[in-house]
Amino acid sequence: MSIHKPKNLFPFFFFFFSSSMEPCTGVVKYVSILLVFFLNLSSSSTLTPSLLDAVVTNTTVLHRNFTAVSQFRLINRQILKDCSASNPFLTLNVTSNSPLSDDTFITVTATAVSNPSDGDWVAMISPSDSDVKSCILNEFYYLQTGDTAKLPLLCHYPVKAQYMKNDPDYLSCKKKECKKFQNGKCVVTTCSGSIKFHVVNIRSDIEFVFFSGGFLTPCVAARSTPLSFANPKKPLYGHLSSVDSTGSSMRLTWVSGDKEPQLIQYANGKTVTSAVTTFSQADMCSSDLPSPAKDFGWHDPGYIHSAVMTGLKPSSTFSYSYGSNLVGWSEQIQFSTPPAGGADELRFIAYGDMGKTPLDESEEHYIQPGALSVIKAIANDVNSNSVHSVFHIGDISYATGFLAEWDFFLNLINPVASRISYMTAIGNHERDYVDSGSVYITPDSGGECGVPYETYFPMPTEAKDKPWYSIEQASVHFTVISTEHDWSENSEQYEWMKKDMASVNRQNTPWLVFMGHRPMYTSNHGLFSFDDKFTKAVEPLLFENKVDLVLFGHVHNYERTCSVLQGKCKAMPTKDKSGVDTYDNRNYSAPVHAIIGMAGFTLDKFSNHVESWSLKRISEFGYLRAHATRNHLSLEFVISKTKEVKDSFRITK
């Protein structure tokens, strides 16, 4: 795609107030004042150093409160220098299987620490030859991310970091060692501590670096020897997706350090050869201000392999492995095909905004605290053979320009995505960037602009950067759109939506489910939570085509509406014998909407004000579980930690 440079400082404002802080209530007035300030500057004057200092000072609290800019994210702008008071005894030792396996824990031990401090920490650097000192750029280069630290950018992103105080014995120096005796007495005593890191195969070697001075003013005190993975070319992270509505073909996509085509062996003797692709820094978006993906967040993705298994039977179980004799094979994995369009019964799971949770105590870029519990709960459902497919509707990994995070995410979802069809929709954190062609010009993708997303998750779309599609499974027709691409009336996507929904054979697939990322209705009126223009343009199509259920994410909670149109309830559910809310669509009135962005990202709270169309509001981590027959569409909101069903409703015909 062609990228145009910004012509004024209007995009610069959005780097401060990215919708990654969505939703941030209570700051709209403050934001509006700053918007006017920036627009005036862009049209009438330059941003002088004194003015810039004032802006930085006045926005520090705002950024830290609303953009999830942790201290760890701030280290990306610090000067990493050698500690002025060096300790000749200090060493950093690593205990692990050597070379490294594909998914392992590493114990890092700092020994001979002279004065343990709560500012001591260890970073995992990859590749090991990365320059961990400073890349001196002016303030514009780091202010675009909303980071207000007044030090130059790092030359490369540390994948993980942990404070040594995660070892409860570290600060109290319970593990002591005498390094120097004088006249029979110990005159130099040192301390040690150990912390564990979870590591997955990211193909490049890694190194651990010990810093003192905390995240804000770090200095290099010691480094480990580099560590390599046993097989950097190993085929990993295979995940499935449907390619059509027959249930007889399934796509498998995986990652490897090897560019040569590999094979899938499946269904007792069949084979298919992979197509191989990758992407480079040149494919990432940027502007006058370099993006994380283009700069300090870049990590080589290796090669992405993809192939379609054909000749399968719908609603059936098969096994597969992938790889080659040269680089190795995956384990044998059992998977299930979804039912063909027109069949009677479908069980699916849907959610948005998952991301990843570290399996250790590390600080990482963009941690989503609920992701681990949600994917574990879904894996239990998959293992019980009670799920045919998954729909993840936007904000997939939250890598946002820090490319190594994709590997950790793919590893996290593998117990689910390797077993059943894992369908996705694009969100703001996959696509949006200044002058990239996205509807919203906030830099939420960190410069990825949809390239990694579409490479890792090839959906049955018509073309690149047109991430909308439809698919039928059993009695359900799914229309999946992009809220980040032009949806205005007469746009290409609008015309596609109109044609797709009008063409649905309701005798074959009686249920029409519409999916995307940004919602039309939400009780959360924070900045960037929803867009009235989107609702006005697309909602009439939903009504005209009698859409039964609308699923969106983006807002990080669960909310269910009445049968709503133009902000008004057109029909209310009634209670069945079991007390379950039941919507009778025999006399269609309007679609039911559900916000399901509660699968990982820090939850949004609800205000005390309840909209008239809002029937259920829950701020807990979980997922939506659905069961469709030809006459009933039953849905449950499941709390991931307890597996409790917190809300249930039905739509009948």
pLDDT in tens, 265-275: 999 899 999 99
Q: Is the pLDDT of residue 5 over 60?
A: no
Q: Is the pLDDT of residue 80 over 60?
A: no
Question: Rounded to an integer, what distance in angstroms lies between the CA atom of residue 223 and that of residue 211?
Answer: 9
How many domains would you assign to the chain?
A: 3
> Is residue 304 a part of any domain in this protein?
no
Q: Are residues 217 and 361 in the same domain?
A: no
Q: Is the pLDDT of residue 41 over 80?
A: no
Of the residues 192, 223, 254, which one is the last residue of a structural domain? 223
- pLDDT at position 442 is 85
Among candidate residues 26, 12, 6, the one with its CA nearest the CA of residue 56: 12
- The helix/strand/coil state of 374 is helix
Strand boundaries in 246-345, DSSP class E = 250-256, 263-266, 270-273, 275-277, 303-309, 317-324, 328-329, 333-336
Q: Is the pLDDT of residue 30 over 90?
A: no
Of the residues 74, 97, 117, which one is the last residue of a structural domain? 74
Q: Are residues 56 and 184 in the same domain?
A: no
Q: Which two tokens stand for residue 489?
A: 């009336």
**Residue 610: which region, alpha, beta or left (left: phi > 0; alpha: psi -120 to 50)?**
beta
**In this structure, are residues 596 and 393 in contact, taking their beta carbons and an 8 Å threshold?**
yes
- pLDDT at position 85 is 61
Cα of 322 vs its chain's centroid, Å: 25
- Cis, peptide link before residue 127, omega less than 30° from 0: yes
Q: Are residues 350 and 406 in the same domain?
A: yes
> Is residue 283 a part of any domain in this protein?
no
Question: Rounded to an integer, what distance in angstroms lies between the CA atom of residue 69 and that of residue 71?
Answer: 7
- pLDDT at position 363 is 86
Strand order in the sheet with 207-212: 81-82, 219-223, 207-212, 121-125, 160-163
Reported as type and span, the H/E element at residue 478 is strand 476-480
> Is residue 460 a part of any domain in this protein?
yes
Apex 122 CA angle, 118 and 125, nearest 5: 155
- Within 13 Å and on the Cβ side, how many CA atoms surround 47? 20
Residue keyed to tokens 């949809």:
450
Q: Are residues 41 and 116 in the same domain?
A: no
Band the pLDDT of 158: cuts 50, 70, 90.
confident
Q: Is the pLDDT of residue 76 over 80?
A: no
Question: Which residue(s) pair with 563 in the sheet?
Answer: 571, 592
Identify the domain containing residue 549 by its residue range. Answer: 343-652
pLDDT in tens, 557-583: 999 999 999 999 999 999 999 999 999
- H helical segments located in 304-370: none
> Is residue 287 a part of any domain in this protein?
no
Q: Are residues 449 and 356 in the same domain?
A: yes
Question: Rounded to an integer, what distance in angstroms lies between the CA atom of residue 207 and that of residue 94?
Answer: 9
**pTM to 2 decimal places:** 0.88
Length of the chain (residues)? 653
- pLDDT at position 45 is 32
Band the pLDDT of 174: cuts 50, 70, 90.
very high
**In this structure, are residues 90 and 228 in contact, taking their beta carbons and an 8 Å threshold?**
no
Count CB neighbours of 250 within 10 A: 25
**In this structure, are residues 566 and 639 in contact, taking their beta carbons and an 8 Å threshold?**
no
Among candidate residues 362, 290, 281, the one with its CA nearest the CA of residue 145: 290
Whole-angstrom CA distances from 441 to 47, 249, 566 are 21, 37, 27
Q: Are residues 42 and 172 in the same domain?
A: no
Q: Are residues 587 and 640 in the same domain?
A: yes
Among candidate residues 527, 628, 551, the one with its CA nearest the CA of residue 67: 527
Q: Are residues 24 and 127 in the same domain?
A: no
**In this structure, are residues 245 and 393 in contact, taking their beta carbons and an 8 Å threshold?**
no
Q: Which two tokens stand for residue 51?
A: 């003015």
Q: Are residues 150 and 42 in the same domain?
A: no
> Is residue 557 a part of any domain in this protein?
yes
- pLDDT at position 508 is 98
Q: Is 460 exposed, middle or buried (0-12, 13-18, 19+ CB in 10 A)?
A: middle
Pairing assessment for the beta strands 270-273 and 250-256 based on DSSP bridges: unpaired
**In this structure, are residues 397 and 357 in contact, taking their beta carbons and an 8 Å threshold?**
no
Q: Are residues 55 and 168 in the same domain?
A: no
**In this structure, are residues 30 and 61 in contact, taking their beta carbons and an 8 Å threshold?**
no
> Is residue 504 a part of any domain in this protein?
yes
Residue with the larger pLDDT of the pair 254 and 145:
254
Q: Are residues 352 and 467 in the same domain?
A: yes
pLDDT in tens, 367-422: 899 999 999 999 999 999 889 999 999 999 999 888 999 999 999 999 999 999 99
SS (H, E, C) 527-539: CCCCCHHHHHHHH
> Is residue 62 a part of any domain in this protein?
yes
> Is residue 313 a part of any domain in this protein?
no
Biggest distance spanned by C-alpha atoms of the chain: 96
- pLDDT at position 59 is 32
Residue with the larger pLDDT of the pair 433 and 550:
550
- pLDDT at position 7 is 35
Q: Which two tokens stand for residue 369?
A: 């605290």
Q: Are residues 501 and 572 in the same domain?
A: yes
Of the residues 45, 74, 103, which one is the last residue of a structural domain? 74
Band the pLDDT of 12: cuts 50, 70, 90.
very low
- Residues 589-601: what's their mean pLDDT? 98
